[in-house]
Structure 1
Amino acid sequence: MKFTLIVVIFCYSLLSCTASDERYLFFLHNKFIEEHTLDESHPKYGKAEYREIVNAFKKEGFTVISEKRKANTNEKTYARQVKEQIDSLLQMGVEPGKITVVGTSKGGFIAQYVSTYARNEQLNFVFIGSSFEGLLEQFPDIDLCGNILAINEKSDRGSVSLAGRIEKSTCHIEHFKNIELNTGKEHGFLFPLMNEWFEPTVKWASQDYE
């Protein structure tokens, strides 16, 4: 995985990040950003505030690892690349509880595969707007592991709790929480930086699982 300028600014490189008390956050954006420039707006949901979201996580003290993915990125291939970066951090001595993978929409779907491949009960994951009817049957190879926060929006058509997926997991999941928002913004709730999903994400990444 090649890091963008955003990662260079925040972290310089994984090899230069120390393993002290830093908390690391991988942010995986939605599909719209794959296919458009960062300044383009969705005709219905408006601008996907990628830069604003990444900067907000940085201001909360996280070392942010993120990039704008290429169009038509393969979810499983990309998830394995993220898993490799997590392995690098663990080899540097970073505690798994200080590593969080946050994904919105397609990014959340990729994050579910990261959880499956990493299979580490202490890693933190936040899946935002990435649990829908039929996905459990369509993708039975996802086997979640880690401390998992799922955030979905009531008005997002077909959106469901991740509890069904959790019940099918063969990994011990010590901490799981599903938050259903009711903003009325449909799938557009994850495009802007919204406190409704940002604040619980920060708490989860800080190992506050209440």
Structure 2
Amino acid sequence: MIKKLFVTALVCTLPVSAVAQLSDVPDAPKVDVKYLIYLHGIGIEKVGVWKANEDYRGIVKAFEKQGFIVISEVRSSDTKPNEYGKKVASQVKALSTRGVPPENITVVGYSKGGLITLWAAAAGDNPKVNYVVLAGCVQKGSEFYSTYASNVAPKMKGRILSMYDAADPDRGTCKDFFAAAGDKVTGKEIKFETGEGHGLFRKPVDQWVNPLAEWANGK
């Protein structure tokens, strides 16, 4: 099932302060809270947190303000999406095995992190886990499209929310991937028309943070 929303909204940033997120799954997670695994974009891989255009610290803080315990680490520049996706799937399984309900687990990825999120959904085994893809779905004509359409999407499972901006020249709708997954995926998609393009998700703004939080809370 795919739902589409077309949204035009004003941009307003959230305040940023110090962040103290987890880098991995805790040995004894709290079973009555929401966990969010965040996967940043490729810019941070290349130049690090302080030089990248993506406001990594601000984004993590925004998720924490929504009530999530955030698990996130800065990846190395040679990270392969398929391999890291398997790592994320193992983190999800570890949380679940240690007592966290699958509906209390959300994986969020921006840009390259969105590609990793797709791999994680394909490697996972629980349809109740939440996933959010931010400007992550490659389009027809991309050198990576056939890989994701043929090898990744048919294996995906879970509740997957896709969000992208209409002005993004490279990343867009996930509808083909949702279709390939069939009834193993409950999909929803939001198309923004802010003019920000791929950069919309580099900062924590209400128009994508709020629907993300709603999705992670089962709404």
Distance, in Å, in 2 between the alignment partners of 1:52 and 1:24 is 17
Q: Secondary structure at the match of 2:138?
A: coil
Distance, in Å, in 2 between the alignment partners of 1:119 and 1:194 is 31
In the alignment, is the contact (CA less than 8 A) between 1:119 and 1:171 conserved in 2?
no
What's 2:146 paired with? Answer: 137
What's 2:43 paired with? Answer: 32
What's 2:174 paired with? Answer: 162
Of the two structures, which has the highest relative contact order with CA contacts closer than 8 Å and spacing of 6 or more? 2
What's 2:22 paired with? Answer: 7
Give 1:167 deviation, angstroms.
Answer: 0.7
What's 2:191 paired with? Answer: 180
Give 1:5 deviation, angstroms.
Answer: 6.0
Q: Does 1:75 align with 2:81?
A: yes
Give 1:204 deviation, angstroms.
Answer: 0.5
What's 1:100 paired with? Answer: 106
Distance, in Å, in 1 between the alignment partners of 2:183 and 2:38 is 23
In the alignment, is the contact (CA less than 8 A) between 2:108 and 2:117 conserved in 1?
yes
Displacement over 2 Å in runs of 4+: 170-173
Q: How many residues align?
A: 195
Bigger drift between 24-33 and 128-137 goes to 128-137
Distance, in Å, in 2 between the alignment partners of 1:34 and 1:87 is 25
TM-score by length of 1: 0.87
Residue deviations 1:158-207 (CA, integer Å, cap 9, x gap): 3331111111115522x321100111112111111121211111111111
TM-score by length of 2: 0.83
Alignment of 1:13-28 (within 5 A): 14-19=26-31, 21-28=32-39
Q: Which amino acid aligns with 1:165?
A: F
In the alignment, is the contact (CA less than 8 A) between 1:144 and 1:171 conserved in 2?
no
Distance, in Å, in 2 between the alignment partners of 1:113 and 1:166 is 13
User: Tell me, which stretches of 5 or more residues in structure 2 are unaligned?
Assistant: 1-18
Q: Does 1:121 align with 2:127?
A: yes
RMSD: 1.8
What's 1:194 paired with? Answer: 205
Bigger drift between 108-117 and 83-92 goes to 83-92
- Residues 5, 200 of structure 1: alpha-carbon distance in 2 compared, 3 angstrom cutoff: closer
In the alignment, is the contact (CA less than 8 A) between 1:136 and 1:165 conserved in 2?
no
Q: Does 1:56 align with 2:71?
A: no
